[in-house]
Structure 1
Amino acid sequence: MTPEDLANLEHLRRARDLIDREYARPLDVPTMARHALMSSGHFSRQFRAAYGETPYSYLMTRRIERAMALLRAGMSVTDACMTVGCTSLGSFSSRFTELVGETPSAYRGREHSAIAAMPACMAKLSTRPSRAGSPSSRIGEAGDPAAA
């Protein structure tokens, strides 16, 4: 890895840290790109190359991940949606269903006591949202090498 590549990764990490820290704020790609000291287009391409998803997709995944924790704690779907920075309940529900595989209401109504009993590192891994069909969404499935 060249020194330029390392510098780019450092700048991308700044933007990713911004997303992780300020996910509930209105964030757009130009704002994230400014934190990475890059143009919007270059930032989007570099972010996708480094992290495997677009900056907006990463932001929405973080929001859904936080919303899952709020829903497990009993918060209403609408309140969770607004708390994590989403302004459209319909878009939030669609993205939640896409990433989690069930509606926010169904997720909220399901039993979550097993997650509370897990070590935090395992709970974080097992509750991390991922697109259906991606390798990380199949961890633990029968026939999956990670299940053995």
Structure 2
Amino acid sequence: MGGRSEEEQRLRTLVLLRRVRDRIDRAYAEPLDVESLARWIGFSAGHLSREFTAAYGESPYSYLMTRRIERAMTLLRRGDLSVTEVCSAVGYGSLGTFTTRFTELVGMSPGRYRREGPPPLSGLPGIITMRVTRPIRNREVLRPTSE
């Protein structure tokens, strides 16, 4: 019977992790931090980070930063906001931090992205375009292994 309670606990944890992910998706522009998200679901910050990473393959902080950069990409493509306005709209307090993080994840500065946009992807289904244009963190880039 111990297996059943472990399974119930695992399902309860997954429900709580989904709530955290949904909150990040909805409130990405608000001042969120791992400690407050953890308190919100009754976890310690370390426990939330470990469980979230195990479930989703990245830390809650990394997930939040990716959501912010994805939204920034959309706002920059629209072209009606300055880079500074986009920085603020997606929850960054520092233009320097925003520019550094954006450049790391997208491969070009926000100003250049606003001017030039992403490379054209004509003729692809929307779901493929979304996946191809999603920011990639350095650790996600596959490196050839030497055997």
Q: TM-score range by the shorter chain?
A: 0.7 to 0.9
Contact 1:11 1:37 in 2 (8 A): no
Q: CA RMSD in A?
A: 2.3
- Cα distance in 2 for residues equivalent to 1:133 and 1:17: 24
Deviation at residue 107 of structure 1 after TM alignment:
1.0
Q: Indicate how the Cα distance of structure 1 residues 133 and 60 shifts in structure 2: closer, same or farther if over 3 A, else same.
A: closer
Q: Which runs of 4+ in 1 moved over 4 A?
A: 115-118
Spell out the pairing of 1:1-148 with structure 2 (5 A cutoff). 2-74=7-79, 75-112=81-118, 114=120, 118-132=124-138, 134-135=140-141
Q: Indicate how the Cα distance of structure 1 residues 101 and 2 shifts in structure 2: closer, same or farther if over 3 A, else same.
A: same
- Cα distance in 1 for residues equivalent to 2:64 and 2:89: 14
Question: What's the TM-score once normalised by structure 1's chain length?
Answer: 0.82
Contact 1:97 1:103 in 2 (8 A): yes
Number of aligned residues: 138
Question: What's the TM-score once normalised by structure 2's chain length?
Answer: 0.83
Give the percent of matched residue pairs that are identical in Structure 1 and Structure 2. 53
In the alignment, structure 2 segments of 5+ residues that lack a partner are 1-5
Q: Indicate how the Cα distance of structure 1 residues 73 and 117 shifts in structure 2: closer, same or farther if over 3 A, else same.
A: farther
Deviation at residue 117 of structure 1 after TM alignment:
6.5
Contact 1:77 1:105 in 2 (8 A): yes
In the alignment, structure 1 segments of 5+ residues that lack a partner are 139-148
SS state of the match for residue 114, structure 1?
A: coil
Deviation at residue 113 of structure 1 after TM alignment:
8.2
Larger radius of gyration: 2
- Cα distance in 2 for residues equivalent to 1:19 and 1:124: 19
1:70-90 superposed Cα distances (whole Å, 9 cap, x missing partner): 001112111110000100000
Q: Which moved more, 1:22-31 or 1:37-46?
A: 37-46
Q: Which moved more, 1:50-59 or 1:10-19?
A: 50-59
- Cα distance in 2 for residues equivalent to 1:43 and 1:131: 21
